[in-house]
Amino acid sequence: MPKEHILFISAGAHIDETYSITVQNLNPTHVFVLAENKIFEPDASTDTSFFIEEKPKIRKAIKNLEKKVETEDLRKYSLIKFPKLDQDVIRDEIIKIRNEHKDAEYSFNVTAGTALFSTSLFLMAIWLGGRVCITRSKFDFLDLKIPKMSVKELESYPDLMKIVLALGTKINNKNIGSDDGWMRNKELLVKLDVIAAERERVKNTDKVNQTRDMDKLKAWNLVEERKSGREIEYRLSSDGIFAYNIFREQ
């Protein structure tokens, strides 16, 4: 059984196109379309002329999306209607879904909808440790990076900052290439003054401390790790490079 991957999409007039490009990149197992009740209700005197014009387009796009999901027969589809666009209402509904799928991964496409709608979904992605993406055209999918820590939090760990600064000396072309920016563990330990030379043995206490520090940096998506023969190598991720540039200026 593949792990559940739930995709939340805010409703808009091009949601069927948004769906197509998003599933190509994320391949979710469940798709939840999120929309306000007003989209499906008769026009009201409080509706703007723009909203009155957009409502039938949004309804048609939602129907097209539903047909696509049924035709593909690869994932489950659900339409969630909100009585109003309120942060608490949106949060409570998504938490209800989360409690029914506790082990799932979560992605949020926030391309469509009002600023409040998109912002509320973005904040829920942070709460759930999910991904956020937008689609700017039929072919332009953008995966937004959500940091797992704040700069202030990282500054409270001076030992971690030292590692980031040491690995920063190896940055090459933003570490885009598969072999860019890597540093052997022994070389890193020398730069951190843990050992005086690479041939020197590392004390057990130093090993424990380094493992703890690296686990924290990896959990924050600041550092990547790989094995090269019998060696362990590290390099900064794109978020790690961003943190390095901040600290380097300091």
Chosen domain end from 144, 168, 184: 144
What pLDDT does residue 199 have?
66
Q: Where are the beta strands (DSSP E) in 111-193?
A: 131-135, 141-144, 183-184
What pLDDT does residue 42 have?
92
pLDDT at 207 over 70: no
Domain extent, residue 234, equals 151-249
- Shared domain check, 11 and 107: yes
- Shared domain check, 200 and 93: no
pLDDT at 65 over 90: yes
Q: At what angle do helices 158-168 and 238-249 cross, to 10 degrees?
A: 100
Span 70-88, average pLDDT: 93
- Shared domain check, 159 and 94: no
Chosen domain end from 144, 169, 193: 144
- Shared domain check, 134 and 39: yes
pLDDT at 118 over 80: yes
The better pLDDT of the pair 200, 189 is held by 189
- Shared domain check, 14 and 127: yes
**Location of structure tokens 């969630």:** 80
Least trusted range by pLDDT, from 105-109, 145-149, 246-250: 246-250
- Shared domain check, 137 and 14: yes
**Cα dihedral angle (213, 217, 220, 222), rounded to 10 degrees?**
170
- Shared domain check, 138 and 43: yes
Residue 225: which CATH number?
Answer: 1.10.10.10
CA distance 8 to 106: 8
Average pLDDT, the chain: 90
Is residue 118 within 8 A of residue 110, CB to CB? The reply is yes
- Shared domain check, 245 and 133: no
Q: What's the structural domain count of the chain?
A: 2
- Shared domain check, 135 and 14: yes
Is residue 94 within 8 A of residue 122, CB to CB? The reply is no
pTM over 0.85: no
Confidence of residue 106 (pLDDT cuts 50, 70, 90): very high
Phi first, then psi: give them for residue 132, nearest 5 degrees: -125, 135
Q: What percent of the chain has pLDDT over 70?
A: 94
Three-class SS state of 216: helix
**pLDDT 10s digits, 122-141:** 999 999 989 999 998 767 89
Residue 121: which CATH number?
Answer: 3.40.50.10770
Least trusted range by pLDDT, from 52-56, 100-104, 158-162, 205-209: 205-209
Is residue 159 within 8 A of residue 169, CB to CB? The reply is no
Three-class SS state of 49: helix
- Shared domain check, 118 and 27: yes
What pLDDT does residue 130 have?
93
- Shared domain check, 133 and 25: yes
Q: Which residues pair with 36 in a beta bridge?
A: 82
CA distance 204 to 99: 42
- Shared domain check, 29 and 135: yes
Three-class SS state of 160: helix
Q: Which two tokens stand for residue 61?
A: 């796009």
Q: Which two tokens stand for residue 228?
A: 């090269």
Three-class SS state of 167: helix
Chosen domain end from 115, 144, 173: 144
CA 158 → CA 4, 36, 79, 152, 163, distances in Å? Answer: 38, 47, 47, 11, 9
CA 146 → CA 52, 126, 149, distances in Å? Answer: 35, 7, 9
